[in-house]
Each structure stands twice: as structure tokens, then as C-alpha cells.
């Protein structure tokens, strides 16, 4: 089956079985490996991408459920040159350790900031349910606050 | 994790010209392993390359796991070469004999990342190496200018003459390479450091913010197939048969490959492979182990912990005298305490599931592996494929979490076997369910403690018996033939070397096999031992009717380093003032891998037994903190890792199979549950200590002690949530 997608601003046609999760389409058919496989059932958030601007866990979205020409943004499309305010804040706060969960963290945080440009700590608690095994949560929180213009705590 | 052999080492630096006109400096050492009769000269790993364009590269055999090891190496080389830290690039060294570490263990040579050894290895080897290279560059410039060496200095990648002339390192490097090697060059004293000890942005971080870092699962090769695997759900079981005909007709599926204890489906992509695997119905042969439930395993360990184990006898001591003195100490006690502490099996559960990519052809194999143990991958894959070791090329990818799990190489062997079978490059990706349930685990451990206190509450004798299965019965490291005792007693070190003035100790180990694959996990046996020790110490303080910190102070009176860390934590937490109403605090301290860590947990427990983790304050003395911000990050991460294990984590077997399959039944601490974490680094003159594992051991005890303060309930087994508590969001 053929599917037409708009990924990071580019139109792409892919031929794949309709039950294939968006995660594997992005990673294997489109070669965008920044989006990570962590649990396969939507629990960890490592596979978070934006579908029409909303954060989704792409491992649980079969490609046939994605309407034709949907806008999909992956970590590779967050900015061209690490210039998204969150990427700048992530480096300033030295957030990643192993880094594997971070593309998903960044995409979840970007969706949060689009909805709430100045989130408080509770908003961050609610939105940031992605799992990190290295324990970068305190820095994730600080980086989101920094990117949203808070330099300290709310 | 591993103890070093006694060495006599003499440093040699050698130089050579590499392809493209680069100059390479490498170090070797005359090493006399304790077990060898004659000294052998074997190259160590430390290489520095200066390219014609001035680029300086340091080679490394430490996997960057997010701990910042590569940045520390860049800082060390930059410090000694008088350059900017960001001007030094770090590359993984080739996995070959010349880069192996022969100073640890009993193997032929190690290329491995474990034991919080990275910074300590760099401290002893790389600083001296880089310092020697700088002298060579200086001498080379002096020779070219025909001026005395004393008139030359180095800064910013150039040699400068007092007269104002300069020469770039790259232009003097070829001359330096031909000079005799100065011996016994001392690295810069700490007082003169300008870069080391100051926070530097980690060099691996930018690529982790835009998706460009290439992890094992991201490897791309021409003609690459993808496989996924199902292993026998019962440990020790093997594959009897599998009907693959229907699956091999599915779209995208190329082949079903049978392995000794597993079956893999190879396809054009992960989803096709997984769909194929989901419909396979393999038949397994029974395991030689009787299938057990964890409740039975735990009962076995309780029995073992209460029976005599193998006694640890310090060098120079006599067993009979030790036993007598212990018995007399026990008899002197005015009151006696006894308790049993337990921890379950734990899965490492790194976010990147186990995976490896292999391209095996008839006379050669190439692997791309997110691994902590490159030399073992090469050795075992070569053996299994019947290839000479130098025909097995191992590339290290970025690694999505190690925590010890990636010191095992099971998935790399499988990838090589599958690739050989299909005669094509194959990327094997385990599902999360396989990753969670197929080991290797942190051992289940039960510890019995006894103490006798005199009328004033001072300890007069102490006994510690740990019952656990042996990691060395299962880890691939057993190939190196290290005796069980050396490795498994590592968990006893905390009891043996407990810094408190607790006399007449009897420390025993009762190894009890449970038929479950095991390996090292971040902080290894210390997480269990320190939980037991630091909670039991609180029990002793309570029996003595003394505040738990005052009790520790009293017992640390002759230990200035530990006492300083305790006092710093006490002042940070303002321990001597009453805590905020409704909040309760617990204290714990531990020493491992040369670092001292103290932590104060501040928590709240409401009437519904919901626990809020408000704050963890942490003080670390790791001697030298090369990159302080990275040390703080390791403390934060270790605390969160330790909290997950102490409060939530548990791998349970039912009829010999693991119950937990994914993060719903094996939850990790979330951002909303994470306490505020405050870390203070206490600099000391001690040698560089580890920081990757050392925040893990005390945190469980600090929280358990705080929960006792809040509820009067002693938590003597992990995970704490099993005791009818729930974990609430902090805010």
C-alpha cells in the first residue's frame, strides 16, 4: 500500500504494509533514525514525533491511521541547525547522558511549549511522561524552564 | 568492580609516523603482573595523534555511556598539552591488542568500561603520556630554533620562544617523533591546573540533541536485514524444534534462524520480523534447573543467610582468632540486635534494547555494537566463527544506556550467528519484552546482620552474612577464569571496609545458586550491602537512643575524610534543626571505588501511605572532579537510578519465567516523582575516585530511614512500594 506523508516539510511516498507503526516507517523507510525504539507499546516515549503539531508515540500509530499528506515532524526537523530554543537550552543545561531518550523528550517538550509557551513545573510534570533511565529529569525540567524564558524556578 | 594487580610499571613513550603525515605518540609500559615470573612489555592504550592540520586526537578504550568519559579525556590531554579543551577530539581506539589494558583482571587484555575505572585509568596513564608529549614538542622546537629548551614555552597549540617566534605543534611533531623519549616526566601538579577541575560542556552532547548520534539500532549498511528474536522463556532451556514454513512465506520475511536456545526471524525490516516472530510456535527443551518462583528463591536465600557462610579472613589474620574475638565481643554486649535485609533481582532496562549488527563473510566478520566490552565481543565471536581475532573488527556505536548490562555480549554473538546463517549483514534488535525478561540480572540478595552494643550503645561486635547467587557462574567474564570469591566478595567490601568504629566483625558470604543469569549492575553488590548496613546502623542508633547522625559522627571520629563528607551533608540539610512539619529525613553514607558519598532524603508520607520524595541532598568526595558539572550529572543520575531500584524495581520469576515484560510492570521513576536533587562536591587530596556508580548505594537506605522517621516502620526489603505504599508526584 502506498502512503503520502509530509515529513519535516518534504513530501514522501512510501510503500509499506498498513499496520506498520509510524516509528518504523520513519526509521526504516525514511531513514530518519533520530526517532528511537524503546518499548514498542507507547510507555516510554522515546519514539515521540509530532503529527499535525501534536506529540504522538509513533510506535503505537499504524501508518494506515495517518491521513494522507499529514504533517509529521521528527527530531531531525525540529530545527536545521540545533537552533530551536529547546536544543539551545538542552546544551546549556547539559541535559543528555546516554542521550537515547532525548529526541523523544525534546519532541514532547516542543509540543508542550507550543501549547503553553510559559509552562509551570506542574505543567511540565503532566506533559513530560517520557522515561529516562539515566536520570536526566532534573535537567530536562530546568532546560524547559530556560527555553520558555524562566531562568529560575516558577 | 575489579581489583588491579600489583604492578611495577615503567613508562615508555614511542612515536611513529602515521598515514597522511600525522604523528602518533603512544605509550607502553613495562608491566610485571603479580602472577608472571618475567616482566612483559605490552602497549597500553594511550595514543595521541597530531595531524598536519593541527588537529589533536586522543584515542580511548572507554565507551561513552553518557558519563562524560570522553570529555574528561579531552580535558586531560588539553591540560597537559596547554590547549583549549574543545581543541582535542576523542576517538574510540581500534579494538586490537595494542590498545588492551593488561593491568586488571586475569584475561589477555581488556577493552572494557566498568568499575567506575575510566577516570582512574586516565589519571594514571593519560596524564603522564600527554605531559611527555608536550616535553617532546617543546624540545623539538628548541632544536629547530637552536635555542635552549628553557627559553621555550607552550600554549594554545604552539611552542613559543621568549623572542616571540612561534611554531605550531603540527609543524614540530615530525621532529619530536625522532627525539629520544624523556623518562619520568611528571604531569602538571593539581595546583597548576587551568582546565581540569573546571566544568566543560560535554563533547558528546550536541549530537544527542538533534537525532544525529548513531546508536546500535541506527546502524545503516547496504543490503542490511533486520532480525528479532525469541529466547527460551525458561533459563537454561534450549530450542527443540520450530515449524518455520508458514512464517517464511510472510511478506518481508527472509528466513527463520534456529539458535541453541532461541529462534530469530530475519526480514526486510523490524515490523515484518516481529510479525513473523509473533506467529512462530517454537518447542523448547526443559531446563536442567527446576522451574521456581521467586518466593521459593527468596526462602532459599533466607536459610542461607542464617547459616554459616564462607568467612572473610583479612590478610595476616587467623580464622580461629577472628571467630573467638567476635564471639567474645558478642558476649560483651548489653543488648543484641538482629535483622534480615533483602533485595530482589533487577533488570538494567536501558532505554535502547539490546541489539547488534554483524556482517559475517567467510574469512572476516565486522560488528557494530553498543557495548561496554569490546575485547570480549572480539574474542568470543572469533572463537565461535573460527576466525583469527584480527579478522573480527568491532566498532563501538553510541550506546543507549549500559549500567553493566552491556558488559555481557549475548546479543552480539547472536547477531554474528544469524549473519553467518543468512550470509548477509543483519541488525538484530531485541524487543523490550526480550530485553526485560532475559537477564542478565542484578542478583537477588539476602543479608543477615547482628550487632552487640554495650551499655552506652557502642558496638562491641558485628556480623554480616550475605546470601546471593554468584555473578561469576553466569557472566561471560567467567571465561577469564577469575575465581568466584574475588568477584562476588566485591559486595562484601562495604561490610569489610565499613568506615565506622565497629569492632570484632564477622563478614561471611553464602553463595547460593538460583539458576538465573546474572551480571554486574551499576554499583553491583554495594546497593544491597549499603542498604542493609546503613539501615541497620540506624537501628543500632535507635537501640542506643542516639540520633542517627550523632551516632555516625561518634563512630567516624577517626575517619576524617568520611567525617568531612558527613558534616558537609549535615550542614547542607540543616540536619540539626527540626525538619519542616510533615516532612521526615533519613541519612546514609557509603564508600565505593575510592569515593565517599553521603545523602539526606527528605520525604512525606500521608495517611493513605502515599510517599512524596521532596528532596535528596548529596555530598560526594571523589578526590578529583575532572569535570564538576559531569560529576553532578552522575550523582543526579545515580540517585534516580537508585530510587527506581529501591522503591519500584523488581524482577519476579513464576514457574521459572520472568513475569515483568515491559515498563508497565517494571516502572521507572518519572519526572513528576523525581525529588529536587542538590549535589555538593567536596574536593580532597584523595586520588581520583569513581562517580558513575557511587550515588546509587546510599539512596535506598536514606529513603528507608526517612520512611522509618515518618511511620515508625522499618523497611527491610526492596522494593519499598511492595510494603503497601504508593509513590506520589512531588508537586
Q: Which three cell numbers stand for residue B88?
A: 582535542
- Average pLDDT on A44-52 reads 98
Is the CB of A44 inside 8 Å of chain B's CB atoms? yes
How would residue B80 be classed by pLDDT, with cut points 50, 70 and 90?
very high
A62 and A126 both lie in a single domain: no
A71 and A6 both lie in a single domain: yes
Is the CB of A132 inside 8 Å of chain B's CB atoms? yes
Which pLDDT belongs to residue B34? Answer: 31
Can you tell me which residue has the cell 586522543? Answer: B58
How would residue A16 be classed by pLDDT, with cut points 50, 70 and 90?
very high
Which pLDDT belongs to residue B183? Answer: 78
Which pLDDT belongs to residue B123? Answer: 72
Q: Is the Cβ–Cβ distance between B265 and B228 less than 8 Å?
A: yes
Q: How far is B454 from chain A (nearest CA, A)?
A: 43
Which pLDDT belongs to residue B364? Answer: 98
CA distance A146 to A84: 12
Q: What is the DSSP string of B412-451?
A: HHHHHHHHHHHTS-EEEE--HHHHHHS--BBPPEEEEEEE
**How many residue contacts between A and B have a Cβ separation below 8 Å?**
185
Instruction: Lay out the sheet containing B56-60: strands in order across.
Output: B9-17, B23-31, B40-50, B56-60, B88-92
Q: Which domain holds residue A94?
A: 85-147
Which pLDDT belongs to residue B31? Answer: 36
pLDDT at B8 over 50: no
Which pLDDT belongs to residue A99? Answer: 98
pLDDT at B486 over 60: no
Assess if CATH 3.30.365.10 describes domain B296-345+441-727: yes
Question: Does the residue A89 lie in any domain?
Answer: yes
A31 and A9 both lie in a single domain: yes
pLDDT at A152 over 80: no
CATH of the domain at A28: 3.10.20.30
A45 and A109 both lie in a single domain: no
Which pLDDT belongs to residue B29? Answer: 43
- Average pLDDT on B214-228 reads 98
The pairing of strands B364-369 and B158-161 is unpaired
**A 90-129 residues with CB below 8 A of B?**
90-91, 94-103, 106, 121-122, 124-126, 128-129
In chain A, whose CA is at the least distance from the CA of B220? A31
The distance from CA B41 to its chain's CA centroid, rounded to whole angstroms, is 29
pLDDT tens, position by position, B230-258: 999 999 999 999 999 999 999 999 999 99
**Interface contact flag, A133 B676, Cβ < 8 Å:** no
pLDDT tens, position by position, B517-564: 999 999 999 999 999 999 999 999 999 999 999 999 999 999 999 999
Q: Is the Cβ–Cβ distance between B701 and B643 less than 8 Å?
A: no
Q: How far is A69 from chain B (nearest CA, A)?
A: 22
Suggest the residue from A134, A139, A140 to mutate for an interface test with chain B (most B CBs closer than 10 A): A134
Question: Whose CA is closest to B531, among B599, B473, B474, B614?
Answer: B599
CA distance A111 to A54: 6
Is the CB of A14 inside 8 Å of chain B's CB atoms? no
Contacts of B612 in chain A (CB under 8 A): none
Contacts of B210 in chain A (CB under 8 A): 34, 75-76, 78-79, 82, 87
CA distance B135 to B116: 30
CA distance B651 to B438: 11
Dihedral, CA atoms, A13, A19, A21, A25, nearest 10 degrees?
-30
Question: Does the residue A80 lie in any domain?
Answer: no
pLDDT at B266 over 60: yes
CA distance B64 to B396: 9
Is the CB of A8 inside 8 Å of chain B's CB atoms? no
Q: What residue segments make up the domains of chain B, in order of their start?
A: 9-206, 216-287+354-429, 296-345+441-727
Q: Is the Cβ–Cβ distance between B137 and B54 less than 8 Å?
A: no
pLDDT at B9 over 50: no
Is the CB of B222 inside 8 Å of chain A's CB atoms? no
Which pLDDT belongs to residue B490? Answer: 64
pLDDT tens, position by position, B346-358: 999 999 999 999 9
Q: Which three cell numbers stand for residue B260?
A: 541453541
pLDDT at B195 over 80: yes
Residue B193 neighbours by CB distance under 10 Å: 16
pLDDT at A154 over 50: no
Residue B682 neighbours by CB distance under 10 Å: 19
A63 and A104 both lie in a single domain: no
Is the CB of B677 inside 8 Å of chain A's CB atoms? yes
The shortest CB-CB distance from B205 to any of A19, A96, A121 is to: A96
Pick A11 or B19 by higher pLDDT: A11
- Average pLDDT on B89-110 reads 76
A108 and A59 both lie in a single domain: no
End residue of a domain, out of A56, A75, A94: A75
The shortest CB-CB distance from B211 to any of A103, A133, A140 is to: A103
pLDDT at B514 over 60: yes
Q: Which of A106-110, B478-482, B489-493, B693-697 bottoms out in mean pLDDT, i.e. has the lowest?
A: B489-493
In chain A, whose CA is at the least distance from the CA of B401? A98
- Identify the CATH number of the domain defined by range B216-287+354-429: 3.30.365.10
- Average pLDDT on B286-314 reads 93
Q: How far is A101 from chain B (nearest CA, A)?
A: 7
Suggest the residue from B67, B199, B209 to mutate for an interface test with chain A (most A CBs closer than 10 A): B209
A21 and A71 both lie in a single domain: yes
A99 and A65 both lie in a single domain: no
- Identify the CATH number of the domain defined by range B9-206: 3.30.365.10
Please count the structural domains in chain A: 2
**B 626-655 residues with CB below 8 A of A?**
629-630, 633, 636-641
Question: Does the residue A152 lie in any domain?
Answer: no
Amino acid at each position: 500500500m502506498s502512503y503520502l506523508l509530509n515529513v519535516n516539510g518534504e513530501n514522501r511516498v512510501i510503500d509499506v504494509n498498513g499496520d506498520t507503526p509510524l516509528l518504523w516507517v520513519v526509521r526504516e523507510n525514511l531513514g530518519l533514525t533520530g526517532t528511537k525504539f524503546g518499548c514498542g507499546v507507547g510507555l516510554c516515549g522515546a519514539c515521540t514525533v509530532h503529527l499535525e503539531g501534536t506529540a504522538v508515540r509513533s510506535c503505537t500509530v499504524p501508518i494506515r491511521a495517518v491521513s494522507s499528506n499529514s504533517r509529521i515532524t521528527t527530531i531531525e526537523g525540529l530545527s536545521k541547525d540545533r537552533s530551536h530554543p529547546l536544543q539551545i537550552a538542552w546544551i546549556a543545561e547539559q541535559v543528555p547522558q546516554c542521550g537515547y531518550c532525548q529526541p523523544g523528550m525534546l519532541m514532547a517538550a516542543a509540543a508542550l511549549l507550543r501549547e503553553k509557551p510559559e509552562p509551570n513545573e506542574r505543567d511540565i510534570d503532566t506533559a513530560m511522561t517520557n522515561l529516562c533511565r539515566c536520570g536526566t529529569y532534573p535537567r530536562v525540567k530546568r532546560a524547559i524552564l530556560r527555553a520558555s524564558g524562566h531562568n529560575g524556578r516558577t | 568492580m575489579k581489583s588491579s594487580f600489583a604492578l611495577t610499571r615503567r613508562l615508555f613513550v614511542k612515536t611513529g609516523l602515521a598515514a597522511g603525515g600525522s604523528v602518533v605518540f603512544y605509550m607502553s609500559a613495562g608491566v610485571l603482573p603479580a602472577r608472571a615470573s618475567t616482566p612483559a612489555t605490552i602497549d597500553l592504550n594511550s595514543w595521541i595523534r597530531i595531524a598536519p592540520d593541527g588537529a589533536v586526537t586522543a584515542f580511548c578504550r572507554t565507551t561513552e555511556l553518557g558519563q562524560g568519559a570522553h570529555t574528561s579525556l579531552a580535558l586531560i590531554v588539553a591540560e597537559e598539552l596547554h590547549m583549549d579543551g574543545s581543541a582535542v577530539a576523542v576517538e574510540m581506539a581500534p579494538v586490537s591488542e595494542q590498545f588492551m589494558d593488561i593491568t586488571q583482571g586475569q584475561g589477555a587484555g581488556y577493552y572494557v568500561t566498568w568499575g567506575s575505572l575510566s577516570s582512574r585509568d586516565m589519571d594514571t596513564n593519560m596524564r603522564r603520556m600527554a605531559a611527555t608529549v608536550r616535553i617532546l614538542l617543546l624540545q623539538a622546537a628548541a632544536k629547530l630554533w637552536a635555542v635552549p629548551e628553557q627559553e621555550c614555552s607552550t600554549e594554545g597549540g604552539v611552542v613559543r620562544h621568549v623572542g616571540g617566534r612561534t611554531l605550531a605543534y603540527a609543524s614540530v611533531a615530525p621532529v619530536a617523533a625522532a627525539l629520544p623519549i624523556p623518562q619520568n616526566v611528571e604531569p602538571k601538579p593539581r595546583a597548576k591546573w587551568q582546565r581540569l577541575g573546571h566544568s566543560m560542556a560535554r563533547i558528546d552532547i550536541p549530537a544527542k540533541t538533534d537525532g544525529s548520534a548513531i546508536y546500535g539500532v541506527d546502524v545503516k549498511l547496504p543490503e542490511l536485514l533486520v532480525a528479532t528474536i525469541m529466547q527460551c522463556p525458561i533459563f537454561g532451556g534450549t530450542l527443540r524444534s520450530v515449524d518455520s514454513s508458514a512464517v517464511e512465506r510472510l511478506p518481508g520475511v527472509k528466513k527463520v534462524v534456529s539458535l541453541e536456545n532461541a529462534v530469530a526471524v530475519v526480514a526486510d525490516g523490524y515490523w515484518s520480523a516481529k510479525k513473523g516472530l509473533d506467529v512462530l510456535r517454537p518447542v523448547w527443551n526443559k531446563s536442567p534447573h527446576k522451574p521456581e518462583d521467586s518466593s521459593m528463591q527468596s526462602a532459599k536465600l533466607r536459610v542461607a543467610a542464617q547459616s554459616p557462610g564462607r568467612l572473610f579472613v583479612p590478610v595476616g589474620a587467623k580464622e580461629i582468632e577472628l571467630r573467638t574475638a567476635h564471639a567474645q565481643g558478642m558476649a560483651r554486649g548489653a543488648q543484641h540486635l538482629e535483622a534480615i535485609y533483602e533485595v530482589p533481582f533487577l533488570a538494567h532496562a536501558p532505554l535502547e534494547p539490546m541489539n547488534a549488527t554483524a556482517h559475517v563473510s567467510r574469512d572476516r566478520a565486522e560488528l557494530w555494537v553498543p557495548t561496554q566490552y569490546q575485547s570480549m565481543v572480539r574474542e568470543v565471536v572469533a572463537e565461535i566463527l573460527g576466525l583469527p581475532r584480527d579478522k573480527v573488527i568491532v566498532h563501538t556505536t553510541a550506546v543507549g544506556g549500559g549500567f553493566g548490562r552491556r558488559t555481557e555480549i549475548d546479543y552480539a554473538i547472536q547477531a554474528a550467528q544469524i549473519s553467518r546463517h543468512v550470509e548477509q549483514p543483519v541488525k538484530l534488535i531485541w524487543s523490550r519484552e526480550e530485553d526485560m525478561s532475559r537477564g542478565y540480572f542484578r542478583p537477588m540478595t539476602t543479608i543477615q546482620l547482628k550487632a552487640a552494643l554495650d551499655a552506652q550503645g557502642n558496638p562491641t561486635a558485628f556480623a554480616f552474612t550475605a546470601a546471593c547467587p554468584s555473578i561469576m557462574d553466569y557472566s561471560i567474564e567467567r571465561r577469564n577464569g577469575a575465581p568466584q570469591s574475588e568477584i562476588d566478595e566485591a559486595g562484601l567490601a562495604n561490610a569489610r571496609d565499613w568506615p565506622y568504629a565497629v569492632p570484632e566483625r564477622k563478614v561471611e558470604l553464602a553463595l547460593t545458586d538460583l539458576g538465573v543469569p546474572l551480571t554486574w549492575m551499576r554499583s553491583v553488590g554495594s546497593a544491597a550491602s549499603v542498604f542493609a548496613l546503613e539501615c541497620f546502623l540506624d537501628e543500632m542508633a535507635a537501640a542506643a537512643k542516639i540520633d542517627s547522625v550523632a551516632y555516625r559522627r561518634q563512630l567516624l571520629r577517626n575517619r576524617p575524610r568520611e567525617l568531612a563528607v558527613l558534616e558537609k551533608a549535615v550542614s547542607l540539610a540543616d540536619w540539626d534543626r527540626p525538619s519542616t512539619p510533615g516532612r521526615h529525613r533519613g541519612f546514609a553514607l557509603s564508600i565505593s571505588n575510592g569515593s565517599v558519598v553521603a545523602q539526606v532524603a527528605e520525604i512525606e508520607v500521608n495517611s493513605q501511605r502515599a510517599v512524596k520524595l521532596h528532596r535528596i541532598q548529596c555530598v560526594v568526595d571523589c578526590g578529583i572532579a575532572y569535570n564538576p558539572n559531569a560529576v553532578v550529572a552522575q550523582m543526579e543520575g545515580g540517585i534516580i537510578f537508585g530510587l527506581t531500584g529501591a522503591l519500584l524495581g523488581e524482577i519476579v520469576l513464576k514457574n521459572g519465567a520472568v513475569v515483568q515484560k515491559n515498563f508497565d510492570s517494571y516502572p521507572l521513576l518519572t519526572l513528576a516523582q523525581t525529588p529536587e536533587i542538590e549535589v555538593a562536591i567536596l574536593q580532597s587530596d584523595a586520588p581520583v575516585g569513581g562517580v558513575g556508580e557511587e550515588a546509587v548505594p546510599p539512596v535506598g537506605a536514606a529513603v528507608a530511614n526517612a520512611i522509618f522517621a515518618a511511620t515508625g516502620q522499618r523497611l527491610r526489603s526492596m522494593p519499598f512500594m511492595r510494603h503497601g505504599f504508593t509513590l506520589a508526584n512531588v508537586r
